[in-house]
Amino acid sequence: MSRAVFLAILSVFSIANTLFAEPPVSTPVEKPNVILITVDALRRDRMSLYGHNRKTTPHLDEFAKEALVFENTYATSAHTSPAIVSLLTGQVPPVHAQTSSFSSYDALIPTPIRELASRGYDTFGHFHSGPTYENLGLVAALHRREIDELLSLRARVPRPFFAWIHTSDTHLPYRPAERLAGEFTRHLTKKGRRDPLDTPLVRAAGEFRMILRAGRFTLPYAHAEGVSVTEGDQETLRAIYDECVLSADTKVGLWLDQMRKNGLLDRSIVIISADHGEELLEHGWLGHASTSYDGKLTDEVLKVPLIIRLPGGRLAGRYRAMTSQVDVMPTVFDLLQIDNSRLEPFQQGHSLLPVVKGTVAESRDHVFAETTFKGWTTPYNEVGYRVSMLRTLSRKYVSAVRPTGEATTAFDLRSDTGELHDQWRSKRSEYREIQQQFTKLTNEYRDTGAKMVFAAAEMHLKAIEDGEERARHLRAIENLEATWGLERFSFLQVPENQKRWEAIESRAASK
């Protein structure tokens, strides 16, 4: 998309929406904008907003005084795409199936963003095309320069918009803003003669986006592997990472200041969160699934911030209820008073407004997460290998499927917050209930995904019957199987679904 076209989209009052059969519903001017800002790999516990002893988020600390701050939010995955799609759809990864570079969301499955577009919202996103993102309903990409222009130009446009803004300041390689470098590492050099910034792992962390834990890989990406860990590396890496958090806070703070000055802030619901967290040697390595090829679902990778500011700073406060990324879009629809009935049957999220208003103490008693071991660049023949997790307030159940077989671990989070002592073998009977809940939920996720897939397939077949381009819809049907069929909890594992899908393929071949 050319720059001229992008600027034209920013300024227009109407964008054609062809993904819904229903005509757009006119939206009153007073409908607030929705601005979602995500910081890649941002750990909640490294933010002063959430109690960290270093002043890493001074701008967000101030911003949060006028916002809803959720203190117990969890990501649905350990790498970007599945977690962001969960944020944007309200679906867990086994349902939306956007878990690798081979995944493709179907254009006929309703999404919250397309629903907003049908109600008069313009929609922008960090990604709007390519695998996993192209059919979610985002119509224009937002990179750094476009973000500033969006926040400036749309302040003068009454038509509401949805924007997903993404920044990677806390993602490997760890390179804090130049003026902030040394803010928290400067004192480390005084502790001894050896330079703590000059160890193999610390050097690699400042240079490479991927630092693989073990093995030798032939990859088309610059990466480090088999790097040794030196005593003191964790303290150093945490300090550097904290400088990156401060860098992210500074950048986001500038956007918030711009919105406050031009009046956009009080015309918008502003949500700040992260796709996932980051391991900093708590469990032997650094990064997350896409950067380490060592996918884990430990709390440091899953605990993320969630801050929501409403126009005028309404309902500001701190809330301890357990929440998930899938709760964000149902909450947005509740705030906008938009009917969510078309989407709700396929969502696993719940509105957080009852928690905020005090009508319920908790909106959920568990969170679910899942990741491939190698994240975004997982090879096609390894996409089905997963780590899946169910977490309650007190326990965690983890099921991992590798080429060598399935392994289970379980942790008592009341006495083992660091997840260092696996109790599956020694106290298996105490985890039977959460194991059964895991099985029940994953079966439900598989069945929900199946309903989406079969409904979409029928719509594609109907479109062919109505004279639309046959090749395009046949490719879409193939993509449904290629995407949802790769899931660990695939709809094709059910014999009845397998037969039904074969019938779909037979009908498609005859058209």
Under a CB-based contact definition with an 8 Å cutoff, are residues 76 and 326 in contact?
A: yes
Residues facing residue 367 across a β-bridge: 391
Over range 424-436, report the average pLDDT: 98
* pLDDT for position 26: 44
Report which of 123, 130, 132 is spatially closest to residue 20, judged by C-alpha positions.
123
* pLDDT for position 294: 93
For residue 218, name the pLDDT band (cuts at 50, 70, 90).
confident
Say how far apart CA 353 and CA 287 lie, in whole Å: 33
Does residue 52 fall inside a structural domain?
yes
* pLDDT for position 14: 32
Say how far apart CA 464 and CA 81 lie, in whole Å: 31
- Compute, in degrees rounded to 10, the torsion defined by CA atoms 423, 429, 435, 436: -170
Does residue 85 fall inside a structural domain?
yes
Does residue 300 fall inside a structural domain?
yes
pLDDT digits (tens, 9 = 90+) for 470-497: 999 999 999 999 999 999 999 999 999 9
DSSP 30-64: TSPEEEEEEETT--GGGSGGGT-SS---HHHHHHG
* pLDDT for position 20: 25
For residue 142, name the pLDDT band (cuts at 50, 70, 90).
confident
Which domain, by its residues, includes 312? 32-369
Say how far apart CA 469 and CA 479 lie, in whole Å: 16
Does residue 476 fall inside a structural domain?
no
For residue 347, name the pLDDT band (cuts at 50, 70, 90).
very high
Q: Which H or E run includes 145?
A: helix 144-153
Q: Which H or E run includes 274?
A: strand 268-274
SS3 label, residue 329: helix
Does residue 160 fall inside a structural domain?
yes
- Structure letter (DSSP) for residue 332: H
For a pLDDT cut of 90, what percent of the chain falls above it?
85
SS3 label, residue 161: strand
* pLDDT for position 209: 95
Extract long-range pairs of 506-509: CB within 8 Å, 24+ residues apart: 507/461, 508/460, 508/461, 508/464, 508/474, 508/477
Q: What is the CATH number of the domain that holds 348?
A: 3.40.720.10
Under a CB-based contact definition with an 8 Å cutoff, are residues 169 and 276 in contact?
A: no
pLDDT digits (tens, 9 = 90+) for 73-128: 999 999 999 999 999 999 999 999 999 999 999 999 999 999 999 999 999 998 77
- Which tokens in the block code for residue 110? 């309703």
pLDDT over threshold 50, residue 23: no
SS3 label, residue 291: helix
Say how far apart CA 215 and CA 294 lie, in whole Å: 11
For residue 27, name the pLDDT band (cuts at 50, 70, 90).
very low
pLDDT over threshold 70, residue 42: yes
Residues facing residue 197 across a β-bridge: none
Over range 407-421, report the average pLDDT: 98
Does residue 75 fall inside a structural domain?
yes
* pLDDT for position 117: 96
Estimate to the nearest angstrom the gap between the alpha carbon of 297 and the chain centroid. Answer: 14
Distances (CA, A) of 424 to 397, 401, 440: 9, 16, 19
Other beta carbons within 10 angstroms of residue 359's beta carbon come to 8
- Tokens 């490719």 belong to which residue? 475
Say how far apart CA 98 and CA 86 lie, in whole Å: 9
* pLDDT for position 144: 76
Does residue 73 fall inside a structural domain?
yes
The chain-wide mean pLDDT, for the chain, equals 92
* pLDDT for position 73: 98
Report which of 57, 508, 414 is spatially closest to residue 241, judged by C-alpha positions.
57
Residues facing residue 410 across a β-bridge: 397
pLDDT digits (tens, 9 = 90+) for 244-268: 999 999 999 999 999 999 999 999 9
* pLDDT for position 450: 97
pLDDT over threshold 60, residue 453: yes
* pLDDT for position 127: 79
Pairing of strands 303-309, 268-274: antiparallel
Sign, Cα dihedral of 94, 98, 100, 105? positive
pLDDT digits (tens, 9 = 90+) for 194-210: 889 999 999 999 999 99
Does residue 382 fall inside a structural domain?
no
pLDDT digits (tens, 9 = 90+) for 170-192: 999 999 999 999 999 998 876 55
pLDDT over threshold 50, residue 21: no
pLDDT over threshold 60, residue 6: no
pLDDT digits (tens, 9 = 90+) for 262-314: 999 999 999 999 999 999 999 999 999 999 999 999 999 999 999 999 999 99
Name the domain count of the chain. Answer: 1
Cβ within 8 Å of residue 467, ≥6 positions away: none
- Which tokens in the block code for residue 47? 């933010």
Report which of 16, 309, 11 is spatially closest to residue 137, judged by C-alpha positions.
16
Say how far apart CA 396 and CA 399 lie, in whole Å: 10
* pLDDT for position 8: 54
* pLDDT for position 458: 97
* pLDDT for position 370: 98
Amino acid at position 376, single letter: W
Under a CB-based contact definition with an 8 Å cutoff, are residues 437 and 391 in contact?
A: no
Maximum Cα interatomic distance, the chain, rounded to a whole number of Å: 76
Say how far apart CA 183 and CA 242 lie, in whole Å: 9
* pLDDT for position 190: 65
For a pLDDT cut of 70, what percent of the chain falls above it?
93
Q: Within 159-232, where are the H helices? A: 200-205
Q: Any idea which of 23-27, 152-156, 252-256 has the lowest mean pLDDT?
A: 23-27
Report which of 385, 327, 378, 482 is spatially closest to residue 79, judged by C-alpha positions.
378
